[in-house]
């Protein structure tokens, strides 16, 4: 079953248990669509602020998927879509020296896309793949974004250490920015960092599901006007 989000819609769960906070590590998986997206803010799934406000850089950590160019950030190619990390005040396809442009981040234009974000205590990793075949490919693995390169966070803001707050969002940004569109099929978050072997086992399980489009599927939930 797909949740199909048009601009103007999204979920925000503020009261949660067992979600990583502060600089605690976490891992997030999701299956989304690489054919139904836009470049608006923000088609996210992950950890966010419970007050539904922008509480500053590093106060959320969620998978972003689309082709946004926040402050000029980009992956390889011209159109995307790319897997990114929404870390508040920016959706990033890389960090460190590739905060602005990460040529390793390849477009994922598949009907069904497997996505992964590993939020370590000292950096983050992004992976993506076709959800119907093959293995995860690492799109980024390194330090968090550099505010001076990003052009955000003000004079004293930082993405390291993180200040995660433990709310859960879907199809919206931390401050409930919901101009994005997308399709969400499944996802989950775990505390701690998973191993590469675990990630590949998850991808194999996703592939085994056998995702495919069914015309006029009565189980599709359309969240639009």
Six token digits for residue 187: 């996802």
Catalytic residues: 88, 175
Exposure b/e, 158-194, CB count within 10 A at least 16 = b: bbbebbbbbbbbbbbbbbeebbbbbbbbbbebeeeeb
Contact between residue 148 and residue 160 where contact means Cβ atoms under 8 Å apart: no
Contacts of residue 154, Cβ cutoff 8 Å, sequence gap at least 6: none
Beta bridge partners of 193: none
Beta bridge partners of 65: 83
């Amino acid at each position: 079953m797909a949740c199909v989000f048009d601009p103007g819609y999204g979920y925000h769960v503020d009261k949660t248990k067992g979600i990583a906070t502060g600089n605690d590590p976490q891992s997030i998986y999701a299956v989304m669509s690489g054919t139904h997206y836009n470049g608006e803010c923000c088609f996210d799934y992950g950890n966010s602020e419970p007050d539904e406000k922008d509480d500053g850089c590093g106060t959320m950590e969620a998978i972003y998927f689309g082709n946004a160019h926040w402050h000029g950030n980009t992956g390889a190619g011209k159109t995307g879509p790319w897997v990114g990390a929404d870390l508040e005040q920016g959706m990033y396809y890389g960090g460190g020296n590739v905060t602005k442009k990460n040529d390793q981040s390849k477009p994922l234009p598949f009907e069904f896309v497997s996505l992964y974000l590993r939020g370590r205590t000292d950096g983050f990793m992004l992976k993506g793949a076709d959800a119907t075949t093959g293995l995860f490919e690492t799109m980024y693995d390194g330090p968090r974004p550099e505010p001076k390169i990003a052009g955000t966070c003000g004079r004293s803001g930082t993405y390291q250490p993180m200040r995660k707050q433990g709310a859960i969002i879907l199809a919206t940004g931390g401050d409930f920015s919901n101009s994005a569109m997308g399709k969400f099929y499944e996802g989950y978050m775990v505390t701690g960092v998973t191993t590469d072997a675990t990630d590949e086992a998850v991808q194999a399980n996703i592939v085994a599901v056998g995702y495919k489009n069914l015309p006029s599927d009565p189980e599709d939930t359309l969240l639009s006007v």
